[in-house]
Structure 1
Amino acid sequence: MFTDKSILITGGTGSLGKALTQYILENYPQVKRLVIFSRDEQKQYQMSLDYPPDQFPMIRFFIGDVRDKDRLIRAMKGIDFVIHAAAMKHVPIAEYNPDECIKTNVYGAQNVIDACFVTGVERVVALSTDKACAPINLYGATKLTSDKLFIAANNIKGENPIRFSVVRYGNVMGSNGSVIPFFLSRKESGVLPITDPQMTRFNISLQGGVEMVIHALQHAWGGELFVPKIPSYRIMDVAEAIGPECEKPYVGIRPGEKIHEEMITSSDSYFTYDLGKYYTILPATHKWKLDDFINEFGAVKVKEGFQYNSGENTEWETVDSMRKLIQEHVDSSFHI
């Protein structure tokens, strides 16, 4: 699919952006151009050291901010596929700096959409988060708004063949700012602070996140919001897996945090279909026929009232499985 195609990744120097870059280059070496678009020059410099131009002539590093539509338009010249991963994502920082979060996550999303229309991009996948489902914090609210913007963009494209879709998943194991690297960094101190002992989270590996983005690029008809079927973990099990000998004081949840994360609410169930490996929430209006979609993907409508949250999940990680996953996906030197 990517042979002789050009791809741009906003937020390309982040954890998922780097994982996507590695995956694309390993599996689609005939890609024409891969543009890493981000605003952090230091991260771009560090990433460029892993991809010297004599060995990876298809890679371009493009400094820019999604708040700057003109810069996005310039970066997207000749681009076929866009993966939108840029965002402000730290919940407490967003709560304290709401206007900055809105500028990046909402206005930035609209800038990406506008730039894609102007430059003739074929397909767009935007990254969402479980916090966008029934949001209680500003970060989640901005990402829900972003989701709505990308999905609604399919309604205004006219005869333009462009397709916009969204992927929503839980915490990416080992990503910057997530709990596992935090616990690993605090292990030697002998204290792992626990926000709430009942807290649960969805868990997905970087590889799983990458595969989901690629799936959406390859299979989306336009307007779908994809949700993976992934396990949950209990925060106490993560702490026990990393530091069984550590003290685990309860410090209370942070502003804007949930005890359990949600990815599909009961209200979403009326538009949700089971695709096997993924669920998809379909838009209320779409350009294609629902029966054709169902036949193409073997889609099965979920029951009315169905909901998908980390506290009521049917699949769970254990202390032992978390230790194995940490060694495999986060820190190969980790051991108990």
Structure 2
Amino acid sequence: MSDYQNKKILIIGGTGTIGQYLLEELLLHSPEVIRIFSRDEYKQFELSQKYREFKNIRYLIGDIRDEKRLIRAMEDIDYVFHLAAMKHVPACEYNPLEAVKTNIIGTQNVIQAALENNVKRVLFTSSDKAISPTNVYGSTKLTAERLIAAADYQKGSKKTIFSSVRFGNVMGSRGSVIPLFKKQILNHREITVTDGKMLRYMMTPSQAIQLILKANKRAKGGEVFVLKMPVLKIGDLAEVIIEEVRKQYSIREEINIKEIGIRPGEKNYEELMTDDEVLIAIESEDMYTILPHHEQGAYQKQWKQAQKVEKPYPKEEDAISKNKISKWFQEENIL
């Protein structure tokens, strides 16, 4: 029997790429109802047409900046998945206050609404850009992580379990490089990359969904869960996309790759944990669990038995092959 069978679920940001994959997975678990909460009425219409045979999906227009709307959306809800964010790095750089309103104040509104409605669990989706952030987006995600951890510590007699999960880049998600590269190939016969040697953690949508569900099941409160994500080189990704798009659209012309340099706020490589977080982390086969300072006692036995975690960081020799990237594209039907 699934944890989600006959349960009421709210997906905040449910019309986004990850939200739609999560919806598809959760429908297999026979929930009583899934509420989709987002600002985009057209995407909600598209989703309602795709899943019109399902009578247990509700579509709610709303913004996480509106606490009262969130409170109403969470009435009688068991599980909340908080996926909504301003996530485009340049947009956050040029509109920092708007990023704060959505990613930080919006997350606090989610917390307050969940506590008011005695929700069982809230899972927040963060980013690897929250580690030692060099941009507004990463800074707001780090602050939101801390708000989630603090909420679990400060909830008093409330039973809601708050936790976070850190993503790397998800293949094909809205705002990611893959749809951009495809568009550039079709329109300009050229791809622009910041640096072909740049390393990025990246996973498929299916891997992301499994991480979300595993983390939500394991959470005791206040943790940050981090998947052991594969590493790839942006240059290799670009070459695979060129090959796949050329085959798909029968393009014979040469496709150029143009390096344009790092954008404001970008790093050459991302990290999964800080030096301090490594000291309070537990490693399992598929993920790291960064413990909340206030709940380390609950993990004490497991922590003592765990081996010391070595700080993971992306290395060029660990980058997956172009054949593996191509296989992911075909298995997940990303393009």
TM-score normalised over the length of structure 2: 0.92
Q: Which has the higher helix share?
A: 2
Match in the other structure for 2:313: 309
Alignment partner for residue 25 of structure 2, among 23, 26, 29? 23
Deviation at 1:161, TM superposition (A): 1.8
Between 189-198 and 91-100, report the one with greater CA deviation: 189-198
SS in structure 1 at match of 2:162: strand
Deviation at 1:308, TM superposition (A): 2.2
Match in the other structure for 1:319: 322
The one-letter code sitting in structure 1 at the alignment partner of 2:192 is: P
Question: In 2 relative to 1, CA 162–179 (structure 1 residues): closer, same or farther, beyond 3 Å?
Answer: same
Aligned length: 322
Deviation at 1:159, TM superposition (A): 2.5
Deviation at 1:325, TM superposition (A): 1.4
Contact 2:171 2:334 in 1 (8 A): no
SS in structure 1 at match of 2:263: coil
Alignment partner for residue 7 of structure 2, among 5, 8, 17? 5
Between 312-321 and 153-162, report the one with greater CA deviation: 312-321
Contact 1:198 1:234 in 2 (8 A): yes
Match in the other structure for 1:149: 147
Alignment partner for residue 284 of structure 1, among 281, 290, 293? 293
Distance 2:144 2:265 in 1: 18
Deviations 1:128-183 (A, max 9, x none): 00111110000000000000000111111122221100000200011011112221
The one-letter code sitting in structure 2 at the alignment partner of 1:17 is: G
Contact 1:106 1:142 in 2 (8 A): yes
Say whether 1:77 aligns with 2:83. Answer: no
Match in the other structure for 2:284: 275
SS in structure 2 at match of 1:192: strand
Deviations 1:15-58 (A, max 9, x none): 000000000112x02x1110000011111111110122xx3121
Contact 1:174 1:329 in 2 (8 A): no
Q: Percent identity?
A: 41
Deviation at 1:246, TM superposition (A): 2.2
SS in structure 1 at match of 2:225: strand
Say whether 1:192 aligns with 2:191. Answer: yes
Q: Which runs of 5+ in 2 are unaligned?
A: 244-253
The one-letter code sitting in structure 1 at the alignment partner of 2:225 is: F
Match in the other structure for 1:243: 242
Deviations 1:46-83 (A, max 9, x none): 1110122xx31211001110000000000000001100
Distance 2:235 2:32 in 1: 46
Contact 1:174 1:330 in 2 (8 A): no
Deviations 1:82-131 (A, max 9, x none): 00000000000001111111000000000000000001101110000011
Distance 2:261 2:41 in 1: 36
Distance 2:190 2:148 in 1: 42
TM-score normalised over the length of structure 1: 0.92
Alignment partner for residue 102 of structure 2, among 69, 86, 104? 104
Deviations 1:178-210 (A, max 9, x none): 112221222243211120122110011111111
